Amino acid sequence: MQNSRKTDAFASSQAAYLGVNMSTVSVIVRIQLSAESAPAYAEAAKAVVAATREEAGCQWYGIAVDVADPCVVWVSEQWASQADLDAHLKTPHVAAFLEACAALEILDMEVRRYEVSSVGDLVMPE
């Protein structure tokens, strides 16, 4: 997986050098579930997380329960390109996950997509 990230970074830097627009795409999702549906969502998410992390262009992908509210779930993902995200959304494991979610009580959901021109480490101010 680490070599894949280096390859993605190299491809992105080469594209930038050649003047090709290959922005990183990040997605942040906040999902509010009913108390009855939250455990089933977490269980269904295990399979999609494992499979997604193996996909081409996936730089990171995680699903986590909010520490302040166990009925809120956060999905964070970063892709090397929009094409990689589009391919991910067409995979069988995403279709199976969405089918499992259709049976759950989702009270609210907010999905944000970000196109990022550069990514780097956060440096804390002195």
**What pLDDT is recorded for position 22?**
62
**What does the pLDDT look like over 29-59, one tens digit per residue?**
999 999 999 999 999 999 999 999 999 999 9
**What pLDDT is recorded for position 41?**
97
Whether the model pTM is above 0.85: no
SS3 101: helix
Domains, the chain, in order of start with CATH, read 23-116 (3.30.70.100)
- Alpha-carbon distance 76 to 59, whole Å? 11
Among candidate residues 74, 75, 73, the one with its CA nearest the CA of residue 34: 73
Structure tokens at 55: 């996909």
Q: How many CA atoms lie within 13 A of 57 on its CB side?
A: 16
SS3 118: coil
